[in-house]
Structures are given as C-alpha cells and as structure tokens.
Amino acid sequence: MTLIADTTVLSNFALVQRPELLSMAGSEVITAAQVMEEIRRGVERGLLPLWDWQWLSICTLDTPEEVQLFEHISRRLGQGEAACLALAIQRGYTFLTDDGDARRWSHRAEIPVSGTIGILVRLVQRGTLTIDEGNALLTEMRQKGFYAPVDRLDGLL
C-alpha cells in the first residue's frame, strides 16, 4: 500500500525533527511535487526547518486525467492537497492529510485517508515507537501548532 502525504503531515513530523519516522510506517510514503514546493516556501519563510527529503519519492501529475482532476479539486483545496488527492484517486493510494476539507474530499471519493495521528499509532503498533514516545511526539506537535482531535494515543491502540 502506497501512502501519499500532503504538506500538513510532512510539516508535523518536520517540526519535531522526526520526518524519517514516516519512512518507517511500514508502507511506501510518497508525496506530490506541489507539496515539496509548499515545503520549500515554508522553509524560505522560516516556518519549517530545512530537511533532507531525499528518501521521499516525489510524484508528478502525468496523465490528462490526473491534471484535469487536480484542476477541478484545486478550485477548493490548496495545490498540495489537490495534487495528492488527484494522485490518490487515480492511482489507488491512501491519502495522508490532517486538513479537514481534504479529508472530506477523500471520504466523498471513497479514498482511504489517514493522517499524523494514524501514522503515530501505526509506529507504536509496529514497535518503532513506545507509547510514551508517541505521546511525547504528539504533545510536541500540538505545542508547535498541530490541531489534534486527541491529547494522547492510548485510547486509539
């Protein structure tokens, strides 16, 4: 199963200096070129730390159907979310986002969706992180601006 991550998810892990955890989630994690452009702008503005994302495969919209779907979705969502969602729909990926509007689009399109919390839970379940480490990362992410629907991961395991 391939996971395609948008800017919100990548940013949450970058802000706590742990983006490599995404590569340990047990599935291939990729992103869209538009997301990397948003990340680059965030770094330039001092909102995100500079990070080496070489392990992360970057996809482009390659077919007319992907481009057309992207153009349609980008009327309502940001470029990164729209590109990831178009690729997820066309290629059968699971979409990683914490954006509420993007999650609603995913549900309407019947695309599997998860996000930062789902990745943290998966990392604890796989034994990559302890529950205490997962909760500490969630707390740090929340302190850095991540709006999470839960305070702790315990009830999700």
> Could you give the CA distance from residue 125 to residue 67 in angstroms, rounded to a whole number?
36
The confidence score (pLDDT) of residue 51 equals 87
Domain coordinates in residue numbering, the chain: 2-156
Mean pLDDT, rounded, for 58-73: 96
What is the model's pTM? 0.92
Class of domain 2-156: alpha beta
> What average pLDDT does the segment 138-149 reach?
94
Supply the DSSP string of 76-123, one letter for each residue.
TS-HHHHHHHHHHHHHTPEEE---HHHHHHHHHTT--EE-HHHHHHHH
